[in-house]
Structure 1
Amino acid sequence: MLKIKHVPEQLFDVTVFPIMMTLMFTYLFGGALAGSTSEYLTYLLPGIMVMSVIMTTMYTGVSVNTDIQKGVFDRFRTLPVWRPAAMVGYLLGDMVRYVLASLVILGVGLALGYRPGGGVVGVAAGILLLVAFSFAFSWIWTLFGLVLRSEKSVMGVSMLVIFPLTFLSNVLVEPETMPGWLQVFVDVSPVTRLVAAVRGLMDGAADVGEITWVLVAGLLLVAVFGTLTMHRYNRR
């Protein structure tokens, strides 16, 4: 968090980028896909919120890799602190960024006319679920940050994973409008399940099955990639 204090432009990816994404997709596709921007915004906004936050998670791995190259981790290892503190600190700090990105998108949506059916409670629950899953998802990129040899490599590999997951999902359109072979991929995508869970909470029609799937998937991600990350970190 102190890095943000000294270099506030680090927040551009969770402020300017989400605003740009929301406005761009609302006005580019709203009239063509839903007949009006207001109707499309109701469907789009929870999806854009998930897309923006999930895309932001890759910067955790980039930060880890950058600090390794600069020798920051060598200093951490000499300090009398809890060994996982350095890795967990990145993730907890980034959770603040995820919340900020979600609130920025919500604010833009409300200004454009978005009215969530789930009210304050539904929106808060949706954001909480999104942030919790993003925390778990970020452990993948911390492992990449430890394994790959440069920050460009981390970003490149992360983009190869995140872009198909986010754009080939239910963020922008209903999966039923896609070819059958593509629906097979979309239906099993974790981003699709996360969007469905968040959208249901924000719309006031919570899907217990999707919420449970997201929570279980998040726990598995932490168990698998958290363990692999700490094993790799302790061996460096």
Structure 2
Amino acid sequence: MTTITSTRQMPPARGGVAGSVRDSLVVARRNLIRMTRIPEVILFGLFQPIMFVVLFSYVFGGSLTVGGTTDPSVYRNFLMAGIFAQTVTFATAGAGAGIADDMHKGLVDRFRSLPMARGAVLTGRTLADLVQTALTVVVLAIVAVLVGWRIHEGVGKMFAAFGLLLLLGYAFSWIGALIGLSVRTPEAATSGGLIWLFPVTFISNAFVDSSRMPGWLQPIAEWNPFSATVQASRELFGNPGVSASTAWPMEHPVWASLIWSALIIAVFRTLAVRKYRRAAG
């Protein structure tokens, strides 16, 4: 009697940059199609930032001082860079939950049976989330204009500001990807993706001038990657609230924002892809 033992072998990963890019775009397309079939996810993602704009503009707008004035219209213009930044970074929780859901449902096992680049699953997911975030920012900008927000440095610098904001959101999505790969359920990924975002966004210059914070807290806010992007956006939009701080990120916010985002992507993409390979191994 002859016993035949079969061994399951994973197909070789598709090599080369071109193959990796192609695989990532295929996965991104799959996730975008999936998002369009669940429109309530997109709608709920729009409601939260719009709610923040209305609440902060009309509830706190007349009680906070910006540039020595409590004029609500001044605060609305000061506020919007912070709301944009908060919107793109809070998408991190959704990215982490989506990846955790794919892991929980065994989708990773299906992908690893295909001859595709190992990092394409994560890259495609983060690119799809970036597209959804960009659409949210467009809607949010329209609402901001309706409540009185204006730009004063031209269309070119406006697009540069939005580019920095989306780059920060993309960088943070890799943190969300790592969290999604590190937990067992989508619910845990959502909680884990939000719990660290609150101190990052509120210990910053997004909603108040960091110079009004306690002395020991100011350096934390000024060296916060989130603050650098908010400050850069305000400068490019021509909005009030440009800090007089001597901290390097506040004096060179555009460069600081680019450096922070690139560093976060380099570190957390490496960690997330390594975690994915171990989970899929």
Given the two structures, how large is their TM-score scaled by the length of structure 2? 0.79
For the pair 1:163 / 2:198, whether they are aligned, the reply is: yes
Over aligned residues, Cα RMSD in angstroms? Answer: 1.8
Aligned partner of 2:93 in structure 1 is 58
- Is this contact kept in 2: 1:14–1:97, CA < 8 A? no
Percent identity (aligned): 34
Shift in Å, 1:200: 1.1
Shift in Å, 1:77: 0.9
Deviation track 1:77-123 (CA, whole Å, cap 9, x = no partner) reads 11222221111111110111221122122111111221111232222
- Is this contact kept in 2: 1:18–1:104, CA < 8 A? no
Measured in 2, the distance between the counterparts of 1:100 and 1:208 equals 30
- Is this contact kept in 1: 2:76–2:149, CA < 8 A? yes
Q: The residue matched to 2:63 in structure 1 has which SS?
A: helix
Shift in Å, 1:152: 2.1
Q: The residue matched to 1:218 in structure 2 has which SS?
A: helix
Q: Which moved more, 1:40-49 or 1:152-161?
A: 152-161
Shift in Å, 1:157: 2.1
Amino acid at match of 1:129: L
- Is this contact kept in 1: 2:206–2:227, CA < 8 A? yes
Q: Which moved more, 1:69-78 or 1:185-194?
A: 185-194
- From 32, 35, 41, the equivalent of 2:63 is 32
- Is this contact kept in 1: 2:89–2:168, CA < 8 A? no
Aligned partner of 2:49 in structure 1 is 18
Q: The residue matched to 2:197 in structure 1 has which SS?
A: helix
Measured in 2, the distance between the counterparts of 1:133 and 1:178 equals 24
More helix by share: 1
For the pair 1:231 / 2:274, whether they are aligned, the reply is: yes
Measured in 1, the distance between the counterparts of 2:182 and 2:141 equals 35
Shift in Å, 1:204: 7.2
Question: Runs of 5+ in structure 2 lacking a partner?
Answer: 1-31, 243-249
Q: The residue matched to 1:216 in structure 2 has which SS?
A: helix
Measured in 1, the distance between the counterparts of 2:40 and 2:83 equals 22
Q: The residue matched to 2:124 in structure 1 has which SS?
A: helix
Amino acid at match of 1:26: S
Q: Which moved more, 1:30-39 or 1:108-117?
A: 30-39
- Is this contact kept in 1: 2:91–2:169, CA < 8 A? no
Q: The residue matched to 1:129 in structure 2 has which SS?
A: helix
Inter-CA distance 21–204: structure 2 relative to 1 (3 Å threshold): closer
- From 47, 50, 75, the equivalent of 2:110 is 75
Q: Which moved more, 1:67-76 or 1:100-109?
A: 100-109
Q: The residue matched to 2:64 in structure 1 has which SS?
A: helix
Given the two structures, how large is their TM-score scaled by the length of structure 1? 0.94
Question: Runs of 5+ in structure 1 lacking a partner?
Answer: none
Query: Superposed, which structure 2 residues align to 1:180-199 within 5 Å?
Result: 180-199=215-234
- Is this contact kept in 1: 2:92–2:193, CA < 8 A? no
Measured in 2, the distance between the counterparts of 1:157 and 1:83 equals 25
Q: Which runs of 4+ in 1 moved over 6 A?
A: 204-208
Amino acid at match of 1:131: L
